[in-house]
């Protein structure tokens, strides 16, 4: 029997509030499926299941605050099918072929005689309905009641085969045809909790836009669609947290600021930072970007941020000493480059969800993934794996007008990359003075894991990649 526990969704998380169950006892869940919604000090996150199996029991009711590692539910793994015992071979099957023992010419094989032709199978006679003389002339034999029912239910009498005398269409024929052509109401994909809430609040699920997996309707969608003032919080057994789940924005912002302050205080206290910066010539990158966007549709166009993020991810692959974690007094390299992207939230504060395997994504794919990640971060629909898997973080404040940013490392990571605004600067290129677009790239790194030489190698790789954008 496996346990589904409260996960750690960041270095600053010690506890979380279970807001909602997305699966219930008796349901089959797969590894990676979101099964619960958890509220942390920073955001509301959908938590994925760690294994495949059947949820047998819920141990924590919605609305409960529990520490990280607390069992939330029991999951029974799928039973393995017993292997069928091998059927023993008979003595005849174990006996070798007669010619296997003898050497020399194998026995001649006579071609098999053609099998006798099978006896013809008698075909049963199929009765054929012969239309009546009235039907052959185009007239439908039906009484006034049958015609009235057909008109009301939209049944075409010409398509019916009457069961009455002489092929006459009866009332029963019309009613059966009407029942057969009636289309059942569409089945709306929704969680069990959402269906119960919809019944209690009088919400028609067909009118609700789902935000869950495969557009499934969740409990939060039903509450938003509920008419009139907010309904009182349902009891705990319904599967949703009580009223405290909807914190006032001021209290939630204050809690987030406290969590960020505690984490940054710890980072500044425990991590010996060193800082490096370089100015990157962006003329090749911007020239390539303008040419790409001119030849692309609106949906395929890129922003400079896509090039910066891809260069940061590729450089992390080339310099793996900066891509990983400092835990238990030693460095552990990350399994893949999962690029954390600092996202400012509309209500204040920030989160840094991860673009998984960002170094392997093509630029259009990375641009799409970035857009979706920012949207989910600002609407509270992040997944647990997206907020806990980042191996190196990038903060890009260029859209805010900042030219240089030195960030604080997000523990247990060992590096943070900063990009400012792309600006035109006078500079000398090949002995000639001109105006070129440039960007300032910075690195904040953990001196316990690396030193300045490694950091300089990383920033050099970023500059080289941005000056050769066709390699990204």
pLDDT of residue 383: 84
Least confident stretch, 190-194, 259-263, 317-321: 190-194
pLDDT of residue 185: 54
What CATH architecture is 273-471? 2-Layer Sandwich (3.30)
Write the pLDDT tens digit of every residue in 120-151. 555 444 444 444 444 444 567 776 667 767 77
Tally Cβ neighbours within 10 Å of residue 334: 18
Structure tokens at 291: 């040419």
Higher-confidence position of 307 and 202: 307
Least confident stretch, 216-230, 271-285, 345-359, 385-399: 216-230
How far apart CA 97 and CA 207 sit, in angstroms, is: 73
Rg of the chain taking only CA atoms, in angstroms: 35
Is 2-76 a CATH 3.30.110.70 domain? no
pLDDT of residue 232: 42
Q: How far is CA 444 from CA 76, 395, 409, 415, 455, in A?
A: 45, 11, 7, 6, 9
pLDDT of residue 359: 96
Q: Answer whether the bond into residue 427 is a cis peptide, omega within 30°.
A: no
What average pLDDT does range 224-249 have in this prediction?
A: 48
Q: To 10 degrees, what angle do helices 363-378 and 304-318 make?
A: 110
Q: How far is CA 209 from CA 187, 204, 246, in A?
A: 14, 11, 20
Closest alpha carbon to 59 in 76, 73, 70, 75: 73
Phi, psi of 7 (to 5 degrees): -80, 165
As a whole-number percent, the residues of the chain with pLDDT over 90 amount to 38
Write the pLDDT tens digit of every residue in 434-446. 899 999 999 999 9
**Is the CB of residue 169 less than 8 Å from the CB of residue 156?**
no
Largest CA distance in the chain: 105
59 pLDDT higher than 80: yes
Structure tokens at 230: 């907010």
Closest alpha carbon to 340 in 275, 391, 415, 296: 391
What average pLDDT does range 340-365 have in this prediction?
A: 90
pLDDT of residue 90: 58
pLDDT of residue 70: 92
95 pLDDT higher than 60: no
* Confidence class for position 117, pLDDT limits 50, 70, 90: low
Residues in the chain: 472
**Is the CB of residue 259 less than 8 Å from the CB of residue 417?**
no
Write the pLDDT tens digit of every residue in 191-205. 766 776 787 777 888
As a CATH number, domain 145-181 is 4.10.320
Q: Is the dihedral of CA 240, 241, 243, 245 positive or negative?
A: negative
Residues 6+ apart with CB under 8 A from 24: 55, 58, 192, 193, 239
Question: DSSP letters of 205-258?
Answer: GGGPPP-SGGG-B-HHHHHHH--SSPPPPPPGGGSB--GGGS--HHHHHHHHHH
pLDDT of residue 251: 72
pLDDT of residue 134: 45
Its pTM surpasses 0.85: no
Query: What are the extents of the domains in the chain?
Result: 2-76, 145-181, 192-246, 273-471
**Is the CB of residue 43 less than 8 Å from the CB of residue 420?**
no
Write the pLDDT tens digit of every residue in 70-84. 999 999 888 765 565
50 pLDDT higher than 60: yes
Task: Find the helix or strand (DSSP H, E) in which 150 lies.
Answer: helix 144-153
**Is the CB of residue 277 less than 8 Å from the CB of residue 442?**
yes
């Amino acid at each position: 029997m496996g346990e589904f526990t409260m996960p750690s969704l960041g270095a600053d998380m010690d506890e979380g509030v279970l807001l909602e169950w997305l699966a219930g006892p008796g349901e089959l869940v797969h590894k990676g499926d979101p099964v619960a919604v958890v509220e942390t000090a920073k955001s509301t996150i959908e938590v994925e299941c760690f294994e495949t199996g059947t949820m047998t029991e819920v141990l924590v009711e919605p609305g409960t605050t529990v520490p990280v590692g607390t069992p939330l539910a029991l999951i029974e793994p799928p039973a393995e099918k017993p292997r069928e015992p091998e059927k023993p071979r008979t003595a005849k099957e174990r006996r070798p072929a007669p010619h296997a023992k003898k050497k020399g010419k194998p026995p001649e094989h006579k071609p098999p005689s053609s099998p006798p032709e099978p006896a013809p199978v008698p075909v049963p006679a199929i009765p054929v309905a012969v239309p009546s003389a009235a039907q052959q002339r185009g007239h439908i034999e039906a009484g006034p009641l049958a015609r009235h029912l057909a008109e009301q239910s939209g049944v075409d009498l010409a398509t019916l085969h009457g069961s009455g005398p002489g092929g006459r269409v009866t009332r029963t024929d019309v009613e059966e045809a009407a029942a057969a052509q009636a289309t059942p109401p569409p089945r709306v994909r929704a969680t069990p909790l959402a269906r119960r809430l919809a019944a209690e609040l009088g919400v028609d699920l067909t009118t609700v836009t789902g935000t869950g997996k495969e557009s499934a309707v969740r409990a939060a969608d039903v509450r938003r669609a509920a008419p009139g003032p907010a309904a009182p919080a349902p009891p705990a057994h319904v599967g949703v947290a009580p009223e405290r789940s909807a914190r006032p924005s001021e209290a939630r912002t204050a809690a987030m600021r406290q969590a960020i302050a505690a984490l940054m205080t710890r980072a500044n206290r425990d991590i010996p930072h060193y800082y490096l910066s370089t100015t990157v010539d962006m003329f090749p990158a911007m020239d390539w970007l303008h040419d790409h966007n001119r030849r692309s549709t609106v949906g395929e166009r890129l922003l400079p941020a896509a090039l910066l993020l891809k260069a940061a991810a590729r450089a992390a692959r080339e310099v793996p000493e900066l891509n990983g974690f400092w835990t238990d007094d030693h460095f552990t390299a990350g399994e893949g480059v999962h690029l954390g992207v600092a996202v400012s939230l509309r209500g204040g504060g920030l989160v840094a969800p991860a673009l998984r395997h960002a170094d392997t994504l093509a630029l259009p794919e990375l641009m799409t993934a970035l857009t979706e990640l920012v949207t989910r971060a600002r609407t509270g629909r992040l997944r647990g794996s997206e907020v806990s898997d980042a191996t190196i973080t990038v903060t890009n404040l260029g859209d805010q007008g900042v030219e240089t940013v030195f960030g604080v490392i997000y523990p247990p990571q060992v590096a943070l990359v900063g990009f400012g605004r792309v600006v035109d600067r006078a500079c000398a290129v090949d002995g000639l003075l001109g105006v070129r677009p440039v960007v300032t790239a910075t690195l904040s790194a953990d001196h316990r894991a690396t030193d300045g030489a490694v950091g300089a190698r990383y920033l050099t790789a970023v500059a080289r990649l941005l000056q050769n954008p066709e390699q990204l």
